[in-house]
Amino acid sequence: MHADRRASIDYEAFRAEVRDFALTQCPPELRLAVTRLKKVGRHEMCTWQKILYAKGWGAPNWPIEYGGTGWDLRQRHIFDETLAECDCPTQPYQALRHIAPVLIEFGTVEQKARFLPGIIRGEVHWCQGYSEPGAGSDLASLKTQAERVGDEYIVNGQKIWTTGAHEADMMYALVRTARGTRKQDGITMLLIPMDSVGLTVRPIRTIDGLHNVNEVFFDDVRVPVANRIGEEGKAWAYGKFLLSHERLGGANVAPLLRLLARTRRMVAEEFRDEPGHPQKAALERRLLHAEAEIYGVRALGRRAIEDIVHKRPLGTISSAIKLLSSNLMQTLDEIGLDATGRRVAARFRITGDDRANAGEPGVEWLTNFLHGRARTIYGGSSEVQKNVLARTLFGS
């Protein structure tokens, strides 16, 4: 029955339809920002989300009753791949792909009705409050405390590295409501309005010169109990459910292939007047090696999707994909740096009287290199992924 339905879908026609929509409906300035490796924030993500929502394509990964498209997994994959190929900004992923699946799985009827519409319409922007100064890779040692008083929780503590907190309306946060024998117990998930009294956001300037991440302080912040997801003290399971969603993102290699093509063109351009430069040939060879490896990840990603379609356990595949795709992005970032570095490394920021002008052309490759270092740190660092893999490989 399932197979019959799939056999009747014309995937190539579907791909063409998505492509046509992306190229005609995604505003050119948004796509140009992606092409030029510019920062993508709330404005870019939410503007695009509103357009997708109007088309009925706001939340392909949701069940139909909440606004999903009813597409099968392959169509969803084609959708993501095609949008990335067209340099569309990502959708507001923290909302759509992280908290929404948790809401749908563990939220109450009332919570779904309250929060899902704002997410799918691109009107309410979300951030993720997990990490703390003392709880990074070891997330379960988080300390931000929530004390129940009547039908409210009083939250005190601090989050850090919160992407987009300065632009967000809501945060989904992990907080401690009890201290048990296992530190994974006693963790609760709360949905916290960012305009709550006692909540302060402080920017963190990162090495790439951008402002994306923040510190968030809670000083007697009152959060209604109605904003708690699932049971008190049981959120470790919900958080892990969410992370498993986050990791398979690497199965979409379209961004890798786009960056590969862009890097290749840049190398050709950068050395246009020195075609015999030995560095040019060396970079072109490195691009070939990266391309071959990307095709491997693409094949692994397709296998992962087949596994999900056929309800086979994914096992170690998502960790392998996360490791590979983050490393490959960094390999390409490095090639970009090696091509432009001689020109731009010493001219990172424009100062003096010219400050209002655009920086050195090509400096975005330097920014991109610095920005991209985070890929092997967040979403479970490379070292943590290897710990996970080794535990499975050695059986302990």
Binding flag, residue 374, ligand FAD (CB under 6 A): yes
> Among residues 140, 314, 350, 384, which is the contact residue for ligand FAD, using CB under 6 A?
384
Nearest residue to 267 (alpha-carbon basis) of 250, 285, 252, 255: 285
CB of 215 to ligand FAD, least distance (A): 11
Binding flag, residue 334, other proteins (CB under 8 A): no
Of 132 and 270, the one with the shorter C-beta distance to ligand FAD is 132
> Among residues 137, 141, 200, 392, which is the contact residue for ligand FAD, using CB under 6 A?
137
Question: What's at 132, amino acid-wise?
Answer: E
> Among residues 154, 268, 305, 309, which is the contact residue for other proteins, using CB under 8 A?
268
Q: Which does 384 bind (CB under 5 to 8 A by kind): ligand FAD, other proteins, none?
A: ligand FAD
Binding flag, residue 323, other proteins (CB under 8 A): yes
Start-to-end C-alpha separation, the chain: 40
Check if the beta carbon of residue 42 is closer than 8 Å to that of residue 167.
yes
Structural tokens at position 271: 């050395």
Binding flag, residue 161, ligand FAD (CB under 6 A): yes
**What is the distance between the alpha carbons of residues 13 and 87, in angstroms, rounded to a whole number?**
20
> Among residues 141, 296, 347, 373, which is the contact residue for other proteins, using CB under 8 A?
296
Three-state DSSP class for residue 143: coil
Q: Which does 213 bind (CB under 5 to 8 A by kind): other proteins, ligand FAD, none?
A: ligand FAD
Does the CA dihedral 355-358-363-364 come out positive or negative? positive
Binding flag, residue 378, ligand FAD (CB under 6 A): yes
Strands (E), 225-312: 228-229
> Among residues 9, 178, 226, 393, which is the contact residue for other proteins, using CB under 8 A?
393
Question: What's at 204, amino acid-wise?
Answer: I
Binding flag, residue 103, other proteins (CB under 8 A): no
State the number of CA atoms in the 13 A half-sphere of 167 facing the CB.
Answer: 18
Q: C-alpha distances in angstroms, 358 versus 350, 351, 364?
A: 8, 11, 11
**What is the distance between the alpha carbons of residues 328 and 335, in angstroms, rounded to a whole number?**
11
Query: Binding mask 265-304 vs ligand FAD (x if CB under 6 A, - otherwise)?
Result: ----------------------------------------
Q: C-alpha distances in angstroms, 288 versus 257, 274, 284, 320?
A: 12, 20, 6, 21
Three-state DSSP class for residue 93: helix
Q: Which does 394 bind (CB under 5 to 8 A by kind): ligand FAD, other proteins, none?
A: other proteins
CB of 260 to other proteins, least distance (A): 7
Binding flag, residue 319, ligand FAD (CB under 6 A): no
CB of 379 to ligand FAD, least distance (A): 7
State the number of CA atoms in the 13 A half-sphere of 362 facing the CB.
Answer: 20
**What is the distance between the alpha carbons of residues 79 and 252, in angstroms, rounded to a whole number?**
10
C-alpha gyration radius of the chain: 22
β-pair partners for 132: 135
The helix/strand count (H/E) of the chain reads as 14, 8
Binding flag, residue 162, ligand FAD (CB under 6 A): yes
Q: Which does 137 bind (CB under 5 to 8 A by kind): other proteins, ligand FAD, none?
A: ligand FAD
Contact window for ligand FAD (CB under 6 A) among 32-40, 130-138, 332-340, 360-368: 130-138
CB neighbours (10 Å) of residue 28? 10
Q: Report, as residue numbers or ranges, the catalytic residues.
A: 246
CB of 217 to ligand FAD, least distance (A): 14
Provide the 8-state DSSP code for 371. Answer: H
> Among residues 309, 377, 388, 389, which is the contact residue for ligand FAD, using CB under 6 A?
377
Chain residues in the site for ligand FAD (CB under 6 A): 127-131, 136-137, 161-163, 213, 374, 377-378, 381, 383-384, 387
Chain residues in the site for other proteins (CB under 8 A): 257, 260-261, 264-265, 268, 281, 284-285, 288-289, 291-297, 299-300, 302-303, 316-317, 320, 323-324, 383, 385-387, 389-390, 392-396
